[in-house]
Structures are given as C-alpha cells and as structure tokens.
Structure 1
C-alpha cells in the first residue's frame, strides 16, 4: 500500500472551516457587511464570546475584515474579504449536497 500524505494546505483549510460556527458566520456575511449583534442574532445558540473569538480568528486568517466607523457611538462592521468570498461556491455546493442528502426533524 502506498503511503498517503495529507496536503498541509488542505488540512489547514479543513481544520479552519470545521471549527464550530466558522462556515455559518461566512454564510451570514455572504449577504453583505454585518454588525456584531446582527451576526449574533442570525445564529441562535452562539455566545458572544465564541462569536468574538471566531471573528478574530477569521480576521487573522484574512477571511473577514473589521471596519471601524468613527461615529458616535462607534460602529463596527464585519465583511468578507476576497479570500472569504471565494468560499461562496464551496458553501453553495454544501447547500446543494445537504438538500439532496440531509434529513431534518424526526424523519429519516
């Protein structure tokens, strides 16, 4: 049997996208810039601390950008970068796959 070696970039990408809430945050931001509270309200069961942590991680990875508007009160919006927008076809395909193969509710 040939030795199999996982591509480090693929492994990092899967690790990053499989963190809880990351793909869903990207999905929410696909519709345009959102404020923290708007993202939080779109994703019930997501705590503010976890959302804050994920947004920081995604900003560090270059998937989202944080824009601070010098208004009173200060307004902060999060939006996808071109790197983040490049995930749209992937999430679209996951959506197609889930429509075909994933059951919801009690029926199986």
Structure 2
C-alpha cells in the first residue's frame, strides 16, 4: 500500500533484511567478521584483534556464524589440535557491506560521541 508521499508500507518491512541486520548487528559479530575479512583464522587471532571480547562470547558468535553458513570451522589433528576459521562464499560476500560500514564509521562514528 503506497501512501500519498510515495512511501510503500508493504515494502517497509522485509523479513530477510531484518534477519540479516539482526545477525550482523549482534554484539561483536560485525567486528568478528571484519577480523576474518582481514585475515584472522585462529581463535586467538580473532580474540586478540578485538579488545574486551571474551572467549565465551567469541565461541558463541562463531557457532552462530557457522550455523548460518557464514563461517567454516576446520579441526586439524595436530599436537596440540589446531582449529581454523574461515569465511564461506556467503561470508566473503559480506565484504562490501562490512567495508562500507567501516568507511562510514571512520567518517561519522567516534567513540567520544556515545
């Protein structure tokens, strides 16, 4: 239903868009994706790249991203066992969105504005 000013009420809410925003916008998820896009592959590399991120939260977010098909987890039977994370094609496809948001943050978002 279009209103007089051209706003389309029926298109204002899109369940797929809402799911995507909720997924990527979860606490720590965006910065985890950014770390993976910048080459981090090991749990400790990701954690060390993100101050204040706890192991428990990182584990939870990586499991969620894996369940969504955005991240893969590969275990190598070494001593000690090696676990690597990588973005899937679906995850790498978020690169433009993450980069655009990073650019916007560089221009407009400052930690002092909170």
Task: Settle same-fold status: TM greater than 0.5.
Answer: yes
Q: Does residue 103 of structure 1 match 2:74?
A: no
Contact 1:65/1:78 (<8 A) preserved: yes
**Which deviates further from its counterpart, 58-67 or 30-39?**
30-39
Structure with the greater relative contact order (CA < 8 A, sep ≥ 6): 1 or 2?
1
Q: Does residue 88 of structure 1 match 2:110?
A: no
CA shift at 1:3, angstroms? 3.7
CA shift at 1:73, angstroms? 1.0
CA shift at 1:33, angstroms? 4.7
* Structure 2 segments unaligned to the other structure (5+ residues): none
Following the alignment from structure 2 to structure 1, what is the Cα–Cα distance between the partners of residues 66 and 53? Answer: 18
Give the structure 2 partner of residue 62 of structure 1.
Answer: 69
Following the alignment from structure 1 to structure 2, what is the Cα–Cα distance between the partners of residues 33 and 98? Answer: 21
> Greater share of helix residues, 1 or 2?
2
Following the alignment from structure 1 to structure 2, what is the Cα–Cα distance between the partners of residues 28 and 68? Answer: 19
Q: TM-score, normalised by structure 1?
A: 0.89
RMSD: 1.8
Q: Give the total of aligned pairs.
A: 107
**What secondary structure, in the 3-state scheme, does the structure 1 residue paired with 2:106 have?**
helix
Contact 1:33/1:77 (<8 A) preserved: no
